[in-house]
Amino acid sequence: MNRSTSRGLVRLSLALGAAMASTVLLAPASTAVPGTAAAPASTERRCAVVYFDLGETLVHTADDGSTSYRPDAAAYLRALRERHIEVGLITNVPSSWGATDAERAARLKEEVDAGWQGSSPFAWDDFGDRILTPRTEAERKPAPVLWERAKAGSGGCRLVYEAETAEETAAAASLGYLAYQVGQPHRPAFLPVRLIELLTHLPR
């Protein structure tokens, strides 16, 4: 690594560290305190996958059973999509909804869409096959299984998890995710997209 590249990584690390401190997020130690040596650029994957909980993180279910986007959620997903950052869902549903993730995801879509309110539908296409749900009731969060499955399928990308509960963000952080609790006062509704972009450039 040449001197100019090294200086650039240091500046990037400092900028990301300062921004993260200001938003009070949970991060694994390897992210919160960047290592002193970076892998060669040719072998590092410059990518991130942002996983979300669904209910009360991206969507809200009203007392009448109708569902809609949480404030700023649609715009946030659009911003991630425009920057080609992949997204996924790690969400608890009854294991009886299907024998596979695909079957349970199909039932989840039916349940959400049946009561959907809003001018545009939920952006299911953004998530592709990255919708992970419990195969048994024992796999329900905060059990680690779903986060571990997502990590195994990440292809080496940096992993982010955003949810509304401290219990889930703490569990994700303990497994190596950069975790962010959404909907907290005096901080951004979601982890800023620019920070996720910077995260992909930090040395491991």
Instruction: Say if residue 11's pLDDT is above 50.
Output: no
Q: Give pLDDT tens digits for 57-96.
A: 999 999 999 999 999 999 999 999 999 999 999 999 999 9
Q: Judge contact between 189 and 182, C-beta under 8 A.
A: yes
Q: Give pLDDT tens digits for 39-49.
A: 444 455 689 99
* Residue-level pLDDT at 32: 43
Token reading at 72: 């700023």
User: How would DSSP label each residue in 86-141?
Assistant: EEEEE----GGG-SSHHHHHHHHHHHHHHTB-SSS---GGGTTT-EE--SSGGG-T
Instruction: Say if residue 12's pLDDT is above 80.
Output: no
What is the rounded CA–CA span in Å between residue 131 and residue 11? 35
Question: What range defines the domain where residue 69 resides?
Answer: 3-199
* 93, 95, 115, 142 from 103: Cα distances, Å: 11, 10, 19, 22
What is the rounded CA–CA span in Å between residue 76 and residue 191? 9
Q: How many domains are contained in the chain? A: 1
Token reading at 25: 């997020």
* Residue-level pLDDT at 119: 86
* Residue-level pLDDT at 176: 95
Domain with residue 122: its CATH number is: 3.40.50.1000
Q: Give pLDDT tens digits for 98-142.
A: 999 999 999 999 999 999 998 899 999 999 999 999 999 999 999
Question: Is 204 domain-assigned?
Answer: no
Other beta carbons less than 10 A from residue 8's beta carbon:
13
Q: Higher-confidence residue: 37 or 165? A: 165
What is the rounded CA–CA span in Å between residue 153 and residue 42? 21
Q: Is pTM beyond 0.95 here?
A: no
Average pLDDT over residues 135-163: 96
Average pLDDT over residues 14-22: 43
